[in-house]
Structure 1
Amino acid sequence: MQLELRHLRALCAIADAGSLTKAATHLGVSQPSLTAQLHRIEAALGGQIFRRGRRGVVPTALGQFVLTRARAALLIVDELVEGAGSLDARAGVVRVGGYATPVLSGLVKRLFESPDVSVTVHTEHSPRLLLELLASRRLDAAVLVDYPGHELPVVPSIGMRLVAVEPVFLAMSRGHPLAALDEVPLADLAGDDWVLSPPDGVGWPECFIATCHEAGFTPRVPHIVTESAMIRQLISGGHAVSPCLAVFHAGTDIAVRPITGTPLWIRHLVAWRRDGPLAPRAEELVRLAADAHREAIADRPHYATWLARQGDISGTSTAPDR
């Protein structure tokens, strides 16, 4: 027997009800029919999913394993099927997505504080994917990033505003020989191992690698990592250095330093569906995102100090709607 979505839904219904009889009623089938279906599912999976007793059914260890994956699979399928007709939108919930940065977390925090807004959050590594989720009506607004020379495309149905332009800095172990410098020449790291995040569909890490080539070397990249915690572990342990946002959190084991000459920048943007529930509040979204960025700067002495040396204490730029 080949497993189908209806089989996964039946397993979840049995687990939620704790009883084959109650689950059968919920699913609109007879109890003998559901029992026979469960036997077929267990035979296909090669083991017992539920342990039966006088008080009902409870998942076995194999059952817990299967149910965890069944629920995750159903969640993904339901998200794909609901798409633009999401119940969240009809219920007045605004769907905010983004590339995980302090701008996104700060904006979401401020939206949660608003008494007239209910929010769901969806993060993705790819800004281009987030833009497509906006265009396909699966998100109402998003915090995005791109890079000079690798700008996101203009989509007529989506409004977009520049919130801030931020330099790319370097993160390294506090014990790194160059961590004592105020600014680090990129070429001086030619012999180091690097940890980079994977391609994001907009130009990263291609623009960083091109910047290294201009500095006279090709970076040695044994580590490709998405998760921030793993990146921090590699850096703090002295196993790699990494390019990072200027608002990247330093810490006791990690130093964040500017690149001499500031050869690379990143742009923070806010985008929204022009026909979406947040379109009338676009100016407020931009303001809240800019406030979040300024708050992040104030909490990052290495960035605030660099900005003071440049004669710019805001780090925030504005641009007209796109």
Structure 2
Amino acid sequence: MQLELRHLRVICAIADAGSLSRAATAVGVSQPALTAQLQRVEGALGGQVFWRGRLGVTPTPFGQFVLTRARSILLTVDELVTGVSAYDGQSNLVRIGGYVTPVLSGLLTRLFEVPGVSITVHTEYSPRLLLDLLASRRLDAVTLVDYPGNELPTLPSVGMRLVATEPVFVLMSSRHRLAAEEEVNLADLADDDWVISPPDGVGWPECVYSACQEAGFTPRVPHSMSEQAVIRQLVAGGHAVSPCQATVQDGPGIVVRPLAGNPLWLRHLVAWRRDGPLAQRAQELAEFAMEAHREAIAERPHYVAWTVRNGTAATLG
């Protein structure tokens, strides 16, 4: 038997009812039919989901494992189909999404301090997906990134504000031959291995490859991943260099260095639904995002030093 969503709903109904007879009434079938269906489900899963007793049914340890995942799957499918989450219906709820940056974390810090507002948070790697979730009313406001020449589209139902335009830096081992330099020529990294995060749907990492080609080489990229902890581990071990946001924090074994001539840039944006709960507070939302970005710059000595040398901070919206 092939397991289907309706089978997951059956075992959740049995767990909620606590007995096969009550569950049969709830789902509108006879108890023998429900019992037979449960047996087929357990056969498909390869284990017993419930212990049966005189007082009803209780999940087995395997059953607890199955139920946890079944409820998660059903919640996700229901939200995907209807666009409604378990939190919808709360009049003071604001659903915030974002691409993980200090702009998002700083914005959330400020929004959580707004009286009378409840926040839920949803992150995605793809800025284009986040914009689609916003336009389809799954989210109320999002933080985004894109790249000059590969700007996100404007949508009639979505308001958008530029937060800042900033250079892309490079992450390298503190033992790298160029680690002591104030800034690094991109061409001087031609012989390094690179770790580059996968495509995000709005021009990354295509913009990195283009910049490298303009510098006279094609980067050697044996590693592709988005998990920052693993990227930092590879870099700290001297196994690769990686392009990074200028607001990335250095740390043990790692330094962040600007690229000479600033061949790569990205934009931070904040967007909101024009008919959403933050539409009347769009200016405040944008100010929160810009404050968060300025705060992140101030906490990164390598970024502060870059602004001093260049006579300007990142271009603010």
Do Structure 1 and Structure 2 share a fold, with TM-score over 0.5?
yes
Distance 1:68 1:239, change over 3 A: farther
Cα distance 1:284–1:89, how it changes in 2: closer, same or farther (>3 A)? Answer: farther
Q: CA deviation at 1:45?
A: 2.1
User: Residues 89, 68 of structure 1: CA spacing in aligned structure 2 closer, same or farther, 3 A cutoff?
Assistant: closer
> Secondary structure, in 3 states, of the residue corresponding to 1:200?
coil
Deviation of 1:23 after TM superposition, in Å, equals 4.7
Given the superposition, is the C-alpha separation of residues 57 and 234 from structure 1 closer, same or farther in structure 2, using an over 3 Å criterion? Answer: farther
SS where residue 90 of structure 1 aligns? coil
Q: Is the 8 A contact 2:157 2:275 kept in 1?
A: yes
The answer for the alignment partner of 1:112 in structure 2 is: 112
Cα–Cα, structure 1 residues 224 and 281, in superposed 2: closer, same or farther, change >3 Å?
same
Alpha-carbon displacement from aligned partner over 1:68-123 (angstroms, at most 9, x marks no partner): 4323321220111221x556443121111111111011111211111121111111
Distance 1:247 1:72 in 2: 34
> What is the CA deviation profile of residues 125-163 of structure 1, one whole-angstrom value per residue up to 9, with x for unaligned ones?
111111111111111111011001111111111110000
Between the aligned residues of both structures, percent identity stands at 70
Q: 2:55 and 2:268 mapped to 1: Cα distance?
A: 55
Tell me how far apart the structure 1 counterparts of residues 60 and 88 of structure 2 sit (CA, whole Å): 37
Match of 1:133 in 2: 133
Compare 39-48 and 203-212 and name the one that shifted more.
39-48
Q: How many residues are treated as equivalent by the alignment?
A: 316
1:101 and 2:101 are equivalent in the alignment: yes
Give 2:316's aligned residue: 317
Distance 1:15 1:176 in 2: 57
Match of 1:278 in 2: 278
| Residue pair 1:294, 1:315 contacting (<8 A) in 2 also | no
Alpha-carbon distance in 2 for matches of 1:15, 1:238:
52
Corresponding position of 2:175 = 175
Change (3 A) 1:54 1:225: farther
- Give the 3 Å change call, closer, same or farther, for CA 22–256 of structure 1 in structure 2: farther
Q: Residue type of the partner of 2:316?
A: S
Counterpart in the other structure of 2:7: 7
Cα distance in 2 for residues equivalent to 1:63 and 1:72: 14
Q: Which shows bigger deviation, 228-237 or 162-171?
A: 228-237
The 1:28/1:105 distance shift into structure 2, 3 A limit, reads farther
TM-score by length of 2: 0.92
Deviations 1:145-203, CA, capped at 9 Å, x for gaps: 10011111111111100001111000011111111111111111111111111101100
Distance 2:27 2:295 in 1: 50
User: Which secondary structure state, in structure 2, belongs to the residue aligned with residue 81 of structure 1?
Assistant: helix
Kindly provide the amino acid, as one letter, of the partner of residue 250 in structure 1: D
Structure 2 stretches lacking a partner, 5+ long: none
CA distance in 1, matches of 2:248, 2:151: 22
Task: Give distance in 2, aligned partners of 1:20 and 1:301.
Answer: 64
Report the CA distance between 1:33 and its aligned residue.
4.2
User: Aligned pair 1:260/2:260, yes or no?
Assistant: yes
CA contact 1:88–1:94 (8 Å) conserved in 2: no
Q: Structure 1 length as normaliser, TM-score?
A: 0.91
